[in-house]
């Protein structure tokens, strides 16, 4: 699958907006599986569930996370290309992260 600039990415990944710095998993990607991000191979260090995000490029600590062309949160640490982008390394602009963590722990 080619992005708006013609670079090839893994067909299991979806780019929602040209300015996004994250890609969305269209299917589950297991830890240790290789993915192709704009022509560059990366290995997923953790399981990536369907619908979850991974970094399209290196994201600096404090940088906005962009999805659908809109900021959705702030990186709380540096995130490498291909790394899972989720509550462990992003502070949401919409929902306090501690609420998300509590939901995960409650089995909801």
CATH entry 1.10.10.10 includes domain 13-105: no
**In the structure encoding, which two tokens stand for residue 10, read together?**
């893994």
DSSP 6-50: S-B--TTEE--STT-SEEEESS-B-TT-EEEETTEEEE-SS-B-T
**Beta strands 84-85 and 90-92: pairing type?**
unpaired
Contact call for residues 84 and 44 (beta carbons, < 8 A): yes
Determine the pLDDT at residue 107. 47
Determine the pLDDT at residue 108. 42
Determine the pLDDT at residue 23. 96
Condensed to tens digits (0 to 9), the pLDDT of residues 31-41 reads 999 999 989 99
For residue 94, what pLDDT band results from cuts at 50, 70 and 90?
A: confident
DSSP state of 108: -
pTM value?
0.79
Q: Where are the domains of the chain?
A: 13-105
Output the average pLDDT for the chain: 85
């Amino acid at each position: 699958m080619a992005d708006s600039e013609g670079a090839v990415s893994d067909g299991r990944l979806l780019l929602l907006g040209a300015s996004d710095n994250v890609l969305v998993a269209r299917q589950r990607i297991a830890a240790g599986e290789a993915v192709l991000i704009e022509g560059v191979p990366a290995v997923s260090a953790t399981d990536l569930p369907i619908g979850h995000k991974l970094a399209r490029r290196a994201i600096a600590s404090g940088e906005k996370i962009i999805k659908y062309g809109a900021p959705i949160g702030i990186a709380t640490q540096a995130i490498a290309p291909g790394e899972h982008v989720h509550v462990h390394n992003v502070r949401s602009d919409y929902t306090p992260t501690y609420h998300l963590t509590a939901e995960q722990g409650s089995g909801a």
